[in-house]
Amino acid sequence: MSWAPQYWRELPYRYRLIGSKCMDCGRKYYPPRKVCKCGSENLKLEPIARKGKVYSYTVIYYPSKEFQGQEPIMVAIVETEDGARFLTQLTDCTPDQLKIGMPVEAVFRRYRTQGDKGLVMYGIKFRPVLGRD
């Protein structure tokens, strides 16, 4: 029996937007880092904003086996309201709705199916705000 799934579930950044903040320059990272781009090792764990905007994106029409059935897969670099910038999947929209600068928010969704036994993995994705408050 593998303990990898339990370990994966217990990572603070896997199911919650917990990142790191450099206490010297203020830069935020998700997932957390131990060393900042400024060279500082003075980082602490901290929640990352759940809202932001699309900085850049691409659409994957021919995904790997574990993502088949979810096409098209929209992947974006999201910049959160507190300045963290990271790669994530987008959901609850179509490719023609995507725009640079589009407001988005974090949601908990099915990510992929892993292995022959069909282990379903969940995680954080972002969806367009589209008038939601």
pLDDT band at 109 (very low <50, low <70, confident <90, very high): confident
Q: Are 83 and 27 in contact (CB under 8 A)?
A: yes
Q: pTM here?
A: 0.78
**Using one digit for the tens of pLDDT, what is the confidence trace for 51-100?**
999 999 999 998 877 777 778 999 999 999 999 999 999 999 999 999 99
List the alpha helices (DSSP H) in the chain. 4-10, 12-15
**Using one digit for the tens of pLDDT, what is the confidence trace for 8-50?**
555 555 567 899 999 999 999 988 999 999 999 999 999 999 9
Q: Are 18 and 48 in contact (CB under 8 A)?
A: yes
For residue 130, pLDDT over 60 is answered with yes
